[in-house]
Structure 1
Amino acid sequence: MRRITVVIMLAVLLLTSCNTGWWEADRNAEPIFDKERINQYTINCYYDEVEKIIKGYQQITYYNNEESILEDIYIHLYPNYFNDKDSVPFTASEMYMAYPDGFDIGFINIDSLSVEGDGGTWGYTNSTGRVLRVELSKPLKPGEHIVLDMNYTVKLPRCNGRFGYGQRTVKGANWYPVVAVFDVNGWNLDPYYSFGDPFYSDVSNYSVNITIPESYEVAAAGVVVRSKKNGKGFKEISIVANRVRDFAWIASEDFKIKEKKVGDVKVKSYFFQDEGGEKALEVGAKSIEIFSSLFGEYPYKNYSVVAADFYVGGMEYPNLVIINKELYNKEGHFSLEYVVAHETAHQWWYGVIGNNEVMEPWLDEGLTEYSTILYYENRYGKETAEGVLDNIIGKRYKKYSGDKGSWEQSIHRSLAEFDSAEEYYTLVYYGGAVVIHQIREALGDQDFFNALKTYYKVYSFENATTNDFLGVVENTAGMEIQDRVNEWLSQGI
C-alpha cells in the first residue's frame, strides 16, 4: 500500500556460472506449483444496493500442503473488524477520513457451514467473531484435502477504507472468509492492524459469480468469462482468477473505462476524470512493460487501475489496484504516477511472490518502493530517478532518523513492533528502499538485476522470507553480503 504522503535498465542475464546454487539443488530453479493441490474458492454472491449487503455462498477446497497433520482449520473474517469503532483498522487521526459521515458498522455473519456435506463443529475463537475455527471430524493428513461449504451475509459500511462503499464506488476488498496460512509457525491469526497491510495468504484459484444491478461496471481480479443480464434489472458476472492471493472487486455506476494492450496483457483504467484516467492507464501500462523486462513477465492476462473512494493513496490486490480518486485531480499528476507505479510493482512483490506482510513488511514494501525508483530510472533517466530517491525517499528517511535521536531504527520488524504509522512508513518504505539501493551498490547492476529476476523465477506463486531473498542475492553475486544487509536492517543506514 502506498500512502498519499509520497507525492532495471539492463536486460537480466540468465545464470550460467552458478549451476550448483542452493536453489537449483532444492527447487530446480523453477516455481513449484501443482495446480491439482492449490486451494480453490468458489463464490456466488448477490449485492443488494439498497441495504448495502452481500449475500454469499462459498465453497473452499483446502489442501494440506504442509508436513503437519491438521486437527482444525482457521478462517479470517476481516469484515468483523468493522463492527466496532474501537477495532476498525484506522489510526485515531485517520478516522475522520475513513468515516467522513461518521462511523458506520460493517460485519460478516456466517449463516451456515458444513464440512464435507456434514454440519461440522465450528465457532469463533472469541466474542469478536474475527477468526473462525472449524474442528475437523478426522485429522487432515499431508496431501489430503477437505471441502467446506458456507453461507454468509456481509454488511458494507459507509467507509473510505479498503472495505465498504462511498460516494461513487462499492469496494469488495478483504470481504469474504479466507483460510489463514498454516506454515512452520502454525496458523497465522494476526489481527487487522490500523496501519500497514496486515495480510498473509496462499495462492489460490477463484471462480466467482457476482450478481449486481446492471447499471454497475465491475473491476475485478481475473478474467470475466461471462456477463449477462437476467431480465430483472441485474446482471450476472462470472469471473475466473487463477494463482492469486486474494480476490477483490470494485463497482461503480459512474466508471469510465479505457484499455491498452502491453504484449498479451490487457491493461484497463477505471476512472471518473478523463485526464487523470488517461494518465493512470499510461502509467499502469508502462509499469507493466518496465517491470516485466526487469523482473520477469507479468503472468496474468489482465491488470486494472481503479479510481475509488479511498482516502489512502493506493492499495494493491492481485490483478487490480485501488487508487484514491482525488489523485486524479492533482495538477501535473506526479502523485498519481508515483502511486500507480508503486502499486503496480506490488504485482511482483506481494502478488506473484508473497511474504508474511505482518512479520516481514519491509520485504515486499522495500522492494516495491525501490522498484518505483526503477520505473523513473527506466522511463525518465538516472538523473530523475536519483532525484526521486534522494529528495523523496532518502531525505525523509534520514530526517526522521536524525530527528528521533535514540529512536529504534530497525527496519526489519513486525507490524506489532512499530509504535506509530509514521515510524512504520518511514522505516519500512523509505528505509527498505534505501537498503535495496545499498544492495545494488554493493553488487553492481548486472548481479543486482540477475538476483531480482532469479528471486522472481524461483519463488513465483510461493511465500518467501528475508532469508530466501538474501540467499538468492548471495548466490547470484557469489559474495557474502547477508551479514551486512542484516546489519542495515537491524540498525538502519
Structure 2
Amino acid sequence: MKFKNKKNLMEKTIYISFFILFNLLLSACSVTRVENLTIMTPSPQAKPIETSSESKEPTPIQTNTTIPPTNIPTEVNIPLPNYQLSVRYNYSDQTALIDEIINYTNPSNKGLPDIKLAVEPLRYTDSFQINNVKINQSEFTKFELGKNLINLPLENTLLPGEAIQLEISYSLKMPSIANPQPDQKPGIFGYTVLQTNFVDWYPFIPPLTEDGSWQIHDGWFFGEYLVYDLSNFSVKINLENTPQNSIIAASAVPSSINQNEYIYEHKAARNFVWSYSPSFIVKTDNVNGIEVSSYYFSFHQKAGEQALIETTKAISLYEDLFGPYPHKNLAIVEADFLDGMEYDGLYFLSKGFYNLYDGTPQGYLTMIAVHETAHQWWYTKVANDQALEPWLDEALCTYSEYIFYETQYPEFADWWWEYRVNYYQPSGKIDLPIYDYPGFIPYRDATYLQGAKFLHQLRSQMGNEQFFTFLKTYAAMYDGKISSTVLFWKLVERITSEDQTALMDEYFQGSY
C-alpha cells in the first residue's frame, strides 16, 4: 500500500486513534454555488479485503433489477403519531417553555393499560420540569417520573385502534455541553458558546414490541439506545433575546418565518431536531430535487463547503443504489462538540473533522459525512432497535462509506480499507446489544468495522447484482418500519440460494 505522504498519514492516524478513543467517534457532517455537479454511479465490484496498491476503475452497476415481491401482511390503516410542539426559546438564559400535544392511536392488537413517554432531558439534572399534563383535555396528575421516562397509568385501557390525546406543558433548562470524558459519551443536548442543540428534547411515545411492551432502554456509555416510530411533527419556535442574524438548522425547512417565529412541518419522520447559533454560515445546493444545506462556522469555510459537496454526491449515489431519499431536505450541521450524530433530516459533523480537513477526501470529514448521510436510509428510512441490534444501521452505513469511495474516488478504495478498517485489526461478533460489549473500542470494532467486513463478504458471495438488489429490496420492504436481524437474514435467503452458514457463524453470535 502506497501513500502520498506516509509520515503525515501516520501522524494523522495516531492523532485520530486517540481522537476516536477519547471522544467516542461514531457513536455514530457568498461562495460559488455548486452547479452542474456530475455524479458517478458506476458499479462497485466486490473484491477481497486484503487490498493492493493499484487503482481500481469502477464498472457500471445494474440497478434496474426486478425487486422480488414482498410478503408483508396488509396492515390496518392506523394514523401516525402526531406531535404539535410550540416552543419559546430564551437565548439569554438558555431556557425553553414548551407546549406539546400528542395524538396517538394504539397500533397494536393488545389493550394498553398505560402510556410511556421517553424523556431524554430527565437524564440531565434540573433540566426538565413538568408544568401540566392533560389526557383527552382533562387534567391528569397521576403521572410517574422515571430516570428517562414518564409513565401515564390510564384510567381506562386504550383498546386496539383507539385514539388518545396527551397535552404536556414543560420547561427546559438547557445544560452546558461538558468537555468530553474518556468514560462517557459526549454530550449533544445542550449549549456551548457557539450553538444550542435541541436533540431528543421532547417527550415521545416509543414503539411497541410484538408482545406489547414499550421499547425504552437504559442509556449507556457509548452507542445509541433510543427507538423511534415514524411520526408527523408540527413545530413552532419563537426566539427571544437572540442576537441579530441568528440561524436555526433543523430537520425540515421552515414553512414560514415571521420575524423571530419559525414554523416547521416534518412528516413521516423519526424525530425533529434543531440547532440554534448566532455564528452559523449556511450554503445550500440541490440534488435530485433535495435541498441540502451545510451549516458551519466561519473559520471552517472550506471544510463546510466540502461537506456539502460530498453529501450531495452521496445522496445521488445512495438514491440510485438504495432507493429514494425519504425527504426533500437534509441539513449538515458543524458540531461544537467532539462527536458525530445522525437524526432524521439532519446530521451533526464534529468540529474535529473540520479541523483535520486537508483539502482531500482522504480523511474523516468525507468519510463521516457520507456515513451520516447513509443513516438517512439506514436509521431514518429503515429503523432498528439501536440498543439491541446496533449493527443493523452502523454496519450498513460504514459499508456505504466504502461504496462511496469505490464509486466516487476509486483510487482511494484500497486506502479506505487500510485506513478505516484494517489498521484497527477489528474482531468480535457484530450482533450484540450495546450493553454486552466491554467498552467503546470492542463495540466500534465489531459493530462498525467487522460489520463492514461481513457485508463485503456477503456481497462477494451473492455477487453485485444480487447484493444491490438485496439492499434496494430491504430498503423498500422496511421503509417506515423497524427491521431486525431476523428479517435481514430472511430476505438474504429469499434473494440468494448460496449457503450463508459459515458467514453467519463467523460474524454472528446468534443463529438466524
Q: TM-score, normalised by structure 1?
A: 0.85
Pick from 353, 356, 365: which aligns with 2:394?
365
Hey, what's the Cα distance between the residues in 1 that align with 2:416 and 2:444? Answer: 17
Residue 484 of structure 1 and its aligned partner are, at CA, apart by 3.5
Pick from 249, 252, 276: which aligns with 1:219?
249
Residue 4 of structure 1 and its aligned partner are, at CA, apart by 6.4
Residue 451 of structure 1 and its aligned partner are, at CA, apart by 0.1
Q: In the alignment, what sits opposite 2:3?
A: none
Structure 1 422/153 Cα, relative in aligned 2: closer, same or farther at 3 Å? same
Pick from 189, 193, 196: which aligns with 1:167?
193
Deviations, residues 178-230 of structure 1 (Å, cap 9, x unaligned): 1122112411221221210111110100000011146320011123111111x
List gaps (5 residues or longer) in structure 2.
1-22, 29-42, 45-60, 179-186
Q: Which amino acid aligns with 1:3?
A: L
8 Å CA contact retained: 1:121, 1:136: no
Hey, what's the Cα distance between the residues in 1 that align with 2:303 and 2:137? Answer: 50
Residue 486 of structure 1 and its aligned partner are, at CA, apart by 5.1
Hey, what's the Cα distance between the residues in 2 that align with 1:40 and 1:2? Answer: 33
Matched, 1:236 2:261: yes
8 Å CA contact retained: 2:390, 2:447: yes
Q: Which amino acid aligns with 1:342?
A: H
Hey, what's the Cα distance between the residues in 2 that align with 1:429 and 1:441? Answer: 19
Q: In the alignment, what sits opposite 1:184?
A: 210
Give the fraction of aligned pairs with identical amino acids, expressed as a percent: 28
Hey, what's the Cα distance between the residues in 2 that align with 1:125 and 1:329? Answer: 41
Pick from 116, 134, 144: which aligns with 2:162?
144
8 Å CA contact retained: 2:216, 2:226: no
Q: In the alignment, what sits opposite 2:278?
A: 253
8 Å CA contact retained: 1:171, 1:251: yes
Deviations, residues 456-489 of structure 1 (Å, cap 9, x unaligned): 0110011000111111122122344267425422
Matched, 1:13 2:42: no
Deviations, residues 283-321 of structure 1 (Å, cap 9, x unaligned): 111111111111001021100101121211x10000100
Matched, 1:156 2:174: yes
Q: TM-score, normalised by structure 2?
A: 0.82
Q: Which amino acid aligns with 1:107?
A: S
8 Å CA contact retained: 2:65, 2:465: no
Deviations, residues 324-348 of structure 1 (Å, cap 9, x unaligned): 1232232425221111111101010
Q: In the alignment, what sits opposite 1:281?
A: 308
8 Å CA contact retained: 2:458, 2:503: no
Residue 148 of structure 1 and its aligned partner are, at CA, apart by 0.1
Aligned length: 442
Residue 444 of structure 1 and its aligned partner are, at CA, apart by 0.7
Hey, what's the Cα distance between the residues in 2 that align with 1:75 and 1:356? Answer: 17
8 Å CA contact retained: 1:435, 1:489: no
Matched, 1:320 2:346: yes
Q: In the alignment, what sits opposite 2:419?
A: 391
Hey, what's the Cα distance between the residues in 2 that align with 1:250 and 1:164? Answer: 10
Q: In the alignment, what sits opposite 2:71?
A: 25
Residue 5 of structure 1 and its aligned partner are, at CA, apart by 11
Q: In the alignment, what sits opposite 2:115?
A: 73
Hey, what's the Cα distance between the residues in 1 that align with 2:503 and 2:350? Answer: 38
Mapping for residues 299-318 of structure 1, pairs under 5 Å: 299-312=326-339, 314-318=340-344
Q: Which amino acid aligns with 1:122?
A: K
Matched, 1:350 2:376: no
List gaps (5 residues or longer) in structure 1.
84-105, 230-234, 402-408
Q: In the alignment, what sits opposite 1:98?
A: none
8 Å CA contact retained: 2:24, 2:440: no
Q: Secondary structure at the match of 2:166?
A: strand
Structure 1 337/485 Cα, relative in aligned 2: closer, same or farther at 3 Å? same
Q: Secondary structure at the match of 1:62?
A: strand
Hey, what's the Cα distance between the residues in 1 that align with 2:328 and 2:27? Answer: 31
Q: Which amino acid aligns with 1:320?
A: L
Matched, 1:3 2:29: no
Hey, what's the Cα distance between the residues in 2 that align with 1:326 and 1:25? Answer: 45
Hey, what's the Cα distance between the residues in 2 that align with 1:5 and 1:68? Answer: 35
8 Å CA contact retained: 1:222, 1:242: no
